[in-house]
Amino acid sequence: MSSELSILKKTLAKYSGEPNPTQVTQGFSPRQLDVAYIFDTTGSMYPYLEQVRRELTRLASEVYKSVPNVRMGVIAYGDYCDANSTYVTKVLDLTTDFEKVQTFVGQVEKTGGGDAPEAVEEALFQANRLNWRIGSSRAIVLVGDAPPHGVIDAASNCLYGHDYKTEGNGLGQKGVKIYATQCGRDSSTEQVFRWLASQTGGVYLNLENIADLVDLLIGVCMKEVGLLESYTQKLQANNLLTGSKARLLNQLKGSSDA
């Protein structure tokens, strides 16, 4: 772990801050990018966050090399029944300090959930309140397997009074694209995630393989700055583009082959 931290610190020291001509593709200057990763941390979904933990150094290296002015935030969410034991939502605001991201992801706890829906609406409410930069390219990667409250249960079960449609519309008005990533095939989750993506100009994705998650998180950043095709070609050149990963990145591109 200490060697990984050392590598991470060297990566950040080299690439953090404003871009310079040696850090970006010749003739290409990436836009400012703000990206928030939102994870369901209930029992069935916590392994996905653990997968991200294992590959944080690679994520940092890939993203900061290509988008050195990126800011990242993380929102973890469970359900209302978790309020007194762990949390309903836990938030790391957008930051250029990747060590804060590493600490947050490394320490955030598993939640219990309870019923079928989860507090997706609360995660979106928190996302609306992040410190998005004026003029930045703005994106959210939402990763979950259950719908928000108010879809398959009563709206009164949104205990804090927030509605996913109101929050989704608010994010769309701010120019925040939602890359709504479904794990599993629950039909009500798909309906909501497709709506969130469509409403905000994002993309609906279905994650077949947990091992592809970090490449998706990287891929969204690359897409937002026009480098997704280059990243895909890099994976292919290094024999890392599996069938499931290729399908996922095709979905991200909006390819008809997805």
Strand ordering across the sheet containing 137-144: 89-95, 71-77, 33-40, 137-144, 176-183, 203-207
Sorting pLDDT into bands at 50, 70 and 90, what band is 114?
confident
The torsion angles phi and psi of 4, rounded to 5 degrees, stand at: -65, -40
Mean pLDDT for the chain? 90
The predicted pLDDT at position 115 comes to 73
Closest CA to 171 of 200, 132, 191: 200
Closest CA to 162 of 103, 221, 88, 222: 88
Q: Supply the DSSP symbol for 197.
A: H
Decide if 184 contacts 145 (C-beta within 8 A): yes
Instruction: Tell me which CATH code domain 30-226 carries.
Output: 3.40.50.410
Sorting pLDDT into bands at 50, 70 and 90, what band is 110?
very high
The predicted pLDDT at position 16 comes to 52
Note the pTM of the prediction, 2 decimals: 0.90
Decide if 77 contacts 89 (C-beta within 8 A): yes
pLDDT beyond 60 at 2: no
Q: Map out the domains of the chain as residue ranges.
A: 30-226
Structure token pair of residue 229: 């095709």
Sorting pLDDT into bands at 50, 70 and 90, what band is 31?
confident
- 158-179: per-residue pLDDT in tens? 999 999 999 999 999 999 999 9
- 207-250: per-residue pLDDT in tens? 999 999 999 999 999 999 999 999 999 999 999 999 999 999 99
